[in-house]
C-alpha cells in the first residue's frame, strides 16, 4: 500500500477533529493557545488570562475554530482558526494591523485585501510533545506498548499533524465560501505543507512576527485539486468530523 494512503488510517487510530463551536470547546481551545504560545513559546499575544490560563482576542467571537484531539487520552493537542473578513467586526484582517508586515502588491492586490472572499488563518498550534519526532520517548497509545508497534508507526512522523491542521483550515475556507486566505508561516512549515499538496503563494518577505515568518496566500480550490488520493481521504475524514454543513457563521 502506498505510504500516503496509510496516513488516514494512522490518523483515525490516534486522533480526531472537532469544530470548537460550544463554550466548553472554545475554552479548551483558548487554554491550548495559552499553553503553547504563552507557556511553551513565551509569546505575548492576545488577551492573556493567567488565572484561567486562556488566550483570546477580539476576533474569536466571529471566527471558525478547529481542534485536534489525541484519541487515547481525549486531550486537545492542536488548534487552528479562520477569520473571514466578511464577518461583522472584521473590517480589516489582523495581519494588516502589524505595521512590520510588508506585502508585495504585485502578487497580493489591495483589492484582494478588501475582498469579501478573503480570510485569515491564524493561531495554528500543536503541543510541543506532538510537534517533534519523539517515538523513542512517547507512546502514541498513551500506554506502554510493544517495540514492534512503535517501530511500525515510525514511518509516520508526528509532524504530519501540521497537515491535518492545514486540512482543517481548507475545510473551513470552503465552508465560509472564501477563495483564499492569508497566513503567516515559518519557512519549515511552508515547506512541509507544500510537500503534502497545500497550494499557496508567498506575498511578502520574512520578518520577525512571533519568530521568522512571511505572509502567504493560500488557495483552497487549487489545494483540493492537487491533493493525492490518500490525502483527499484524510481531508474527507476531517471534513466529516468537523461536520461543516452544521457549522454556523455569526
Residue-wise pLDDT tens for the chain (250 aa)? 344 448 899 999 999 999 999 999 999 999 999 999 999 998 888 788 888 999 999 899 989 999 999 999 999 999 999 998 865 555 678 888 776 677 887 888 877 887 889 999 999 999 998 876 444 344 444 443 333 333 334 445 556 899 999 999 999 999 999 999 999 999 999 998 998 899 999 999 998 888 899 999 999 999 999 998 889 999 999 999 998 655 654 4
Q: What is the structure's pLDDT at 245? A: 53
Q: What is the structure's pLDDT at 145? A: 39
Q: What is the structure's pLDDT at 46? A: 75
Is residue 117 within 8 Å of 180, Cβ to Cβ? yes
Cross-strand pairs, 216? 183, 202
Rounded CA separation 175/180 (Å): 12
Does CATH place domain 3-246 in 3.40.630.30?
A: yes
Cell triple for 216: 502567504
Helix (H) or strand (E) holding 131: none
Cell triple for 190: 511552508
Q: What is the structure's pLDDT at 89? A: 53
Q: What is the structure's pLDDT at 243? A: 84
Q: Where are the domains of the chain?
A: 3-246
Amino acid at each position: 500500500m502506498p505510504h500516503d494512503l496509510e496516513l488516514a488510517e494512522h490518523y483515525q487510530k490516534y486522533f480526531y477533529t472537532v469544530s470548537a463551536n460550544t463554550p466548553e470547546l472554545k475554552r479548551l481551545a483558548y487554554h491550548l493557545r495559552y499553553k503553547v504560545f504563552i507557556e511553551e513559546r513565551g509569546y505575548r499575544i492576545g488577551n492573556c488570562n493567567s488565572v484561567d490560563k486562556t488566550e483570546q482576542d477580539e476576533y474569536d467571537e466571529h471566527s471558525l475554530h478547529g481542534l485536534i484531539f489525541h484519541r487515547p487520552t481525549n486531550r486537545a493537542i492542536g488548534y487552528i482558526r479562520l477569520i473571514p473578513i466578511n464577518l461583522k467586526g472584521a473590517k480589516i484582517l489582523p495581519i494588516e494591523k502589524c505595521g512590520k508586515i510588508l506585502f508585495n502588491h504585485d502578487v497580493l492586490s489591495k483589492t484582494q485585501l478588501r475582498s469579501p472572499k478573503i480570510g485569515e488563518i491564524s493561531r495554528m498550534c500543536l503541543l510541543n510533545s506532538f510537534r517533534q519526532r519523539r517515538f523513542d520517548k512517547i507512546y502514541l497509545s498513551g500506554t506502554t506498548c510493544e517495540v514492534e508497534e512503535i517501530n511500525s508507526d515510525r514511518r509516520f512522523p508526528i509532524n504530519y499533524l501540521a497537515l491535518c491542521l492545514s486540512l482543517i483550515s481548507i475545510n473551513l475556507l470552503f465552508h465560509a465560501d472564501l477563495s483564499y486566505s492569508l497566513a503567516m508561516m515559518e519557512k519549515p512549515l511552508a515547506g512541509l505543507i507544500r510537500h503534502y499538496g497545500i497550494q499557496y503563494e508567498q506575498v511578502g518577505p520574512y520578518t520577525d512576527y512571533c519568530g521568522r515568518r512571511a505572509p502567504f496566500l493560500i488557495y483552497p480550490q487549487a489545494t483540493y485539486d492537487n491533493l493525492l488520493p490518500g490525502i483527499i481521504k484524510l481531508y474527507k475524514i476531517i471534513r466529516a468530523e468537523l461536520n461543516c454543513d452544521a457549522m454556523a457563521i455569526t
